[in-house]
């Protein structure tokens, strides 16, 4: 058992993480393509009871090779910016497979997305009005509804409550209908996304019920989009969303609703974390072990610039000393090299750490590289995708020249 677990931690598709670190250097993001495919299949199986379309929320991890992997598995995409749309197209997506769900962008960007041919999902009345004026019934549009549900792993990622900036409150739907009638618009989808890290099937059902209640007011629907937000395990003993149960219950309720609606609709989902979080590992190297009378620090060649989740959300990422030799474990604070208190992992029991040891941060697939920055003028790491048993470089490490690339240097 211990051996199996150890292999799971230390290897990706039979390749040793320490060898990958040696070949490509650290810091390094490593993704397991097989794990992504497994997660896709879990979702497909869970929701097999209805005509389901999965739209991967690309903000979680936007590397074009990852997008190509998604496409190879028959997965569509959800984009939140014009740049994400263009990256998806670069990966070979047809615009018609791209759902564009922006928030607070200008109308020019929405127009550009329409011109590119993406599907559009709007979440406020002023943009809906502009959309109607510009396109009338020529371009269908979906509506993001605020379900008035407080749910999610922490307040920053709970976005379905009534004080959230996202979605149109149900109390404003009469105005939506007025605008749609005024311009002869076609509302082809309803959308809800309640938050991230949601465990309970009940929350997804509540969100679904809000849409089922409002949907009869919209006769031209083709799909109902239940968003993403499925919880995955960050700690070893964390529960994750029971996809079989959520799938079974949501598809049953959905099919029942479709009977009363009059025709079969498509059920859409927009998972980010669920598909890529567990597939990713951030490998870092120990620069210094600093033992004070109070505490033992492990200082690594990375920091909040590469993994901001612990600082931003108090998120927990499991850490393993994959170079560890001793069976005995000691408590450490793993900290970054940034000139701020970037504690990546506090009070963790690790196999004794020595300078040069490689540490692995788990769950670094989602919202890790995609939220990385150049703070402290540090460079963003390389990314590697293990696909069909081979480790492939899918992004080079940044170079010093990248820091200067867009600077216009005055002659002072
Ligand atoms: N759909 C919409 C409209 C969203 O805003 C999001 C995430 C998703 C789908 C995908 O949610 P997921 O399945 O990944 O939970 N950076 C945070 C998470 C922010 C999520 C933002 N929106 C984190 O690292 O926890």
Give one DSSP letter per residue of 138-157, joined into a string: SS-EEEEEE-----SSSGGG
Read off the DSSP letter of residue 122: E
Is residue 340 a known part of a binding site?
yes
325: containing domain: 2-30+279-404
Atom of ligand 1 nearest to the CA of 371: 16
Whole-angstrom CA distances from 270 to 43, 141, 267, 292, 321 are 11, 17, 10, 46, 34
Is position 258 annotated as part of the catalytic site? no
- Torsion angle defined by CA atoms of residues 96, 100, 105 and 111, in that order, rounded to the nearest 10 degrees: 10
* Torsions phi, psi for 351 (to 5 deg): -60, 140
- Torsion angle defined by CA atoms of residues 60, 107, 374 and 331, in that order, rounded to the nearest 10 degrees: -40
Average pLDDT over residues 306-325: 96
Same-domain status, 237 and 126: yes
Same-domain status, 170 and 317: no
- Residues 26-84 pLDDT 10s: 999 999 999 999 999 999 999 999 999 999 999 999 999 999 999 999 999 999 999 99
- How many whole angstroms from 38 Cα to the centroid of ligand 1? 20
Same-domain status, 54 and 13: no
Asked if residue 409 is part of any domain, the answer here is no
Asked if residue 235 is part of any domain, the answer here is yes
- pLDDT grade, residue 372 (50/70/90)? very high
Task: Say what the pLDDT of residue 4 is.
Answer: 59
- Residues 96-107 pLDDT 10s: 999 999 999 999
When comparing pLDDT for 250 and 148, which is higher?
Answer: 250
Q: Which of 88, 104, 258, 339 is catalytic?
A: 339
- Residue 295's CB: how many other CB atoms inside 10 A? 12
> How many CA within 13 A on the CB side of residue 307?
35
- pLDDT grade, residue 161 (50/70/90)? confident
Same-domain status, 181 and 285: no
Q: Which among 99, 167, 229, 361 is the best mutation to test ligand 1's pocket, defined by most ligand atoms within 8 Å of the CB?
A: 229
Asked if residue 37 is part of any domain, the answer here is no
Read off the DSSP letter of residue 230: B
Same-domain status, 74 and 180: yes
Residue whose Cα lies nearest atom 19 of ligand 1: it is 157
Same-domain status, 16 and 79: no
Location of structure tokens 């974390």: 273
Same-domain status, 238 and 291: no
- How many whole angstroms from 2 Cα to the centroid of ligand 1? 34
Picking from 254, 276, 298, the residue at the C-terminal end of a domain is: 276
Burial 15-51 (b: 16+ CB within 10 A, else e): bebbebbeebebbbbbbbbebbbebbebbbebbebbb
The CATH number assigned to the domain holding 110 equals: 3.20.20.10
Same-domain status, 318 and 251: no
How many domains does the chain divide into? Answer: 2
Whole-angstrom CA distances from 75 to 56, 99, 269, 292 are 7, 12, 10, 50
Atom of ligand 1 nearest to the CA of 154: 25
Cis check: omega of the bond before 157, within 30 degrees of 0: no
Same-domain status, 269 and 320: no
Question: Pick from 147, 189, 142: which is nearest to 169 by CA?
Answer: 147
* For residue 3, pLDDT beyond 70: no
Atom of ligand 1 nearest to the CA of 191: 3
Q: Which among 36, 40, 56, 57 is the best mutation to test ligand 1's pocket, defined by most ligand atoms within 8 Å of the CB?
A: 57
- How many whole angstroms from 202 Cα to the centroid of ligand 1? 19
Same-domain status, 96 and 170: yes
First-to-final CA distance of the chain: 65
Task: Say what the pLDDT of residue 67 is.
Answer: 98
Q: Which among 54, 56, 60, 275 is the best mutation to test ligand 1's pocket, defined by most ligand atoms within 8 Å of the CB?
A: 60
Is residue 313 a known part of a binding site?
yes
* For residue 2, pLDDT beyond 70: no
Average pLDDT over residues 79-96: 98
- Residues 210-261 pLDDT 10s: 999 999 999 999 999 999 999 999 998 999 999 999 999 999 999 999 999 9
- pLDDT grade, residue 6 (50/70/90)? low
* Torsions phi, psi for 331 (to 5 deg): -80, 135
Picking from 230, 247, 276, the residue at the C-terminal end of a domain is: 276
- How many whole angstroms from 27 Cα to the centroid of ligand 1? 25
* Alpha-helical regions (H) of 49-94: 64-72, 82-90
Task: Say what the pLDDT of residue 1 is.
Answer: 46
The pairing of beta strand 28-32 with beta strand 15-16? unpaired
- How many whole angstroms from 366 Cα to the centroid of ligand 1? 9
- SS3 for 239? coil
Using N-to-C axis directions, what is the helix angle for 82-90 and 107-116, rounded to 10°? 20
Picking from 276, 310, 328, the residue at the C-terminal end of a domain is: 276
Ligand 1 binding pocket (C-beta < 6 A) is 57, 60, 78, 101, 157, 193, 196, 227-230, 270-274, 309, 313, 366-367
Which ipTM did the prediction report?
Answer: 0.99
Task: Say what the pLDDT of residue 292 is.
Answer: 96
Same-domain status, 10 and 63: no
Same-domain status, 192 and 120: yes
- How many whole angstroms from 227 Cα to the centroid of ligand 1? 9
């Amino acid at each position: 058992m211990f051996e199996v677990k150890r292999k799971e931690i230390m290897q990706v598709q039979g390749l040793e993480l320490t060898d990958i670190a040696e070949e490509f250097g650290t810091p390094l993001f490593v993704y397991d393509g097989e794990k992504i495919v497994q997660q896709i299949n879990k979702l497909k199986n869970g929701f097999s009871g209805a005509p389901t379309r999965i739209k991967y929320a690309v903000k979680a991890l936007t590397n074009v090779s990852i997008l190509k992997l998604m496409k190879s598995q028959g997965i569509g995409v959800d984009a939140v910016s014009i740049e994400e749309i263009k990256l998806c197209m670069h990966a070979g997506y047809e615009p018609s497979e791209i759902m564009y769900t922006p928030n607070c962008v200008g109308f020019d960007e929405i127009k550009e997305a329409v011109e590119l041919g993406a599907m559009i999902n709007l979440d406020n009345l002023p943009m809906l009005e502009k959309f109607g004026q510009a396109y009338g019934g020529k371009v269908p549009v979906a509506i993001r509804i605020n379900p008035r549900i407080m749910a999610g792993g922490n307040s920053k990622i709970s976005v379905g409550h009534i004080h959230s900036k996202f979605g149109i409150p149900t109390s404003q739907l009469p105005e939506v209908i007025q605008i749609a009638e005024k311009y002869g618009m076609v509302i082809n989808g309803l959308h809800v996304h309640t938050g991230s890290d949601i465990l309970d099937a009940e929350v997804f059902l509540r969100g679904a019920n809000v849409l089922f209640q409002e949907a009869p007011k919209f006769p031209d629907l083709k799909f109902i989009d239940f968003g993403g937000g499925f919880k995955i395990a960050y700690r070893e003993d964390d529960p994750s969303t029971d996809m079989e149960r959520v799938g079974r219950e949501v598809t049953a309720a959905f099919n029942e609703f479709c009977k009363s609606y009059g025709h079969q609709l498509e059920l859409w989902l927009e998972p980010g974390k669920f598909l890529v979080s567990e597939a990713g590992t951030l490998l870092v190297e120990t620069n210094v072990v600093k033992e004070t009378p109070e505490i033992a620090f492990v200082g690594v060649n990375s920091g909040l610039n590469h993994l901001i989740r612990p600082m931003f959300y108090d998120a927990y990422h499991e850490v393993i000393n994959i170079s560890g030799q001793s069976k005995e474990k000691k408590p450490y604070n793993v900290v970054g090299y940034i000139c701020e208190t970037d504690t990546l992992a506090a009070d963790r029991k690790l196999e004794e750490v020595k300078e040069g040891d490689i540490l692995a941060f788990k769950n670094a697939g989602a919202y890790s590289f995609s939220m990385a920055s150049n703070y402290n003028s540090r460079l963003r790491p390389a990314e590697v995708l293990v696909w069909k048993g081979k480790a492939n470089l899918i992004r080079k490490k940044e170079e010093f020249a990248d820091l200067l690339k867009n600077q216009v240097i005055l002659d002072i």
